[in-house]
Amino acid sequence: MTDFVKKIEAQLVSWRQSFHQYPELGFMEYVTTYRLGKELEKLGFSLHIGDDAIDPDARLGIPEAEDLIAHEQEAIDAGVDESWMKKMQGGLTGLVATLDTGRTGDHVAFRFDIDALPIKESTDESHLPFHDAFASKSTGVMHACGHDGHMTIGLGVAAYIASHQTSLKGRFTLLFQPAEEGGRGAKAMTAKGWLDDVDYFYSGHIGIQSLPVGTIAATTEGFLASSKLNVSFTGVSSHAGMRPELGRNALLAASAAATNLYAIPRHSDGITRINVGKMIAGSGRNIIPGEAYMEIETRGETQEINDYMLTEAKRIIQAAAAMHQVSCELTSVGVTEEMVCNEELIQKIKHACIGGEYVKEVLPKAQVSGSEDASFMMNRVQENGGKATYMLFGTELKYPHHHPAFDFQEDVLPVALETFVKIIEGGSKID
């Protein structure tokens, strides 16, 4: 196993840097899906793409049609085969790769997210991707959360399974999930039934906490349930000097909503969060703004607490609209659930990683925050009697996730791969 990881180490770096150069936003990962698929094809996996991989009707926050069409043409120009594009058309990105050894054993699933963020990457010489000429080639889009590393690790796991399948038992499902950012893609893959009969489910994240390379956490605790909303306010434009009384100010409604959202009383049963992340309104200083738009999110330690925050947020938004005599439309564009790792997997992972060359320390648990839509997959597995966990893979973090200069130490890639490989050997190797 160690020889395998060593042999593939340079390939991991090459894959990561290639993915980093071509980041794509959620449900527009056409080139990414295609590149992943061609590698997995060579390894002999059965591939499921388009509506074979995800339930189209379970998606949230689908990009505007004109954006999808424009990026589809860009993907074709970048070399994506038109037969693949036909299956992915309309934002049906991501894929599922399966391999059945034909021998009785556990069904083990792994999830790797593949989308990027709407962030302009740093051009500072101290930023390694820029300095080493593998920075994003897509203006305003960047892998600023490590997903380029996640899918690289996924290809490494696939390569191991393919090359060792004669000594393995059971079935393997690798989910290369679109649109993790904003909590949009996992629900659509889960709705397709991929997690319904899984015995063990593993996912994880590079970073989140700044930890030494070689340190991993077997489980995590603290991810919050969340809801994402887009809000459109529609009022009436008018001349601000001559007939202001005829106007209905959508900007003031949005502003009133934004400030009062932060006044929601916190819940006594646990952690809550609220954020107004974007607001656009108005067209000129002498015009009563007739339209306004904002993007918000709520979070809660449990589903019940998040539901409380969401209910209060909707009430405040609607009240602000009524106060300024404008209408409002609320659209759900993302959601995540609370998730709890199976603690019995701690010893399983610790035992599997004994003697690892790359894994130096296994922490039983890491405290985290934020939200993860892998929660849908984990919860479905656990509902059906399976076990699931979400791990962390340590790296130094000079800048936080979602920062223009975010980067991770590439030495974490073989650490994560060794972790997954040892887990596979610990449960799926023929006795």
Q: What is the mean pLDDT of residues 259-275?
A: 96
**Over the chain, what is the mean pLDDT?**
96
Output the pLDDT for position 369.
86
pLDDT per residue over 274-310, tens digit each? Answer: 999 999 999 999 999 999 999 999 999 999 999 999 9
pLDDT at 370: 87
Pair type for strands 225-234 and 200-210? unpaired
pLDDT tens digits, 188-240: 999 999 999 999 999 999 999 999 999 999 999 999 999 999 999 999 999 99
pLDDT tens track for 333-375: 999 999 999 999 999 999 999 999 999 999 999 999 889 999 9
Q: Virtual CA dihedral for 68, 73, 77, 80, nearest 10 degrees?
A: 60
Q: Which of 29, 113, 115, 372 is catalytic?
A: 113
Q: Model confidence at 429, in pLDDT bands (50, 70, 90)?
A: confident
CB 189 within 8 A of CB 174: no
d(CA 108, CA 202): 8
Instruction: Decide: pTM greater than 0.85.
Output: yes
* Per-position DSSP letters for 269-287, written without gaps between them: TS-EEEEEEEEEE-S-TTB
Catalytic residue among 181, 199, 297, 372, which?
181
pLDDT in the model for residue 71: 96
pLDDT at residue 1 greater than cutoff 80: no
pLDDT tens sequence across 161-201: 999 999 999 999 999 999 999 999 999 999 999 999 999 99
Strands, DSSP E only, in 311-421? Answer: 327-336, 361-363, 366-367, 387-395
Exposed e or buried b for every residue in 29-41, given b needs 16+ CB within 10 A?
A: bbbbbbbbbebbe
Q: CB under 8 Å to 16, separation ≥6 — which residues?
A: 148, 149, 152, 410, 413
Identify whether 113 is a catalytic site residue.
yes
98-127, pLDDT tens digit by residue?
999 999 999 999 999 999 999 999 999 999
pLDDT, position 2: 65
Q: Would you call 66 exposed, middle or buried from its count of C-beta atoms within 10 A (0-12, 13-18, 19+)?
A: exposed
Class of the domain covering 225-335: alpha beta
CATH node for 2-221+339-428: 3.40.630.10
pLDDT in tens, 371-383: 999 999 999 999 9
- List the domain boundaries for the chain: 2-221+339-428, 225-335
pLDDT band of 321, cuts 50, 70, 90:
very high
pLDDT more than 90, % of the chain: 97
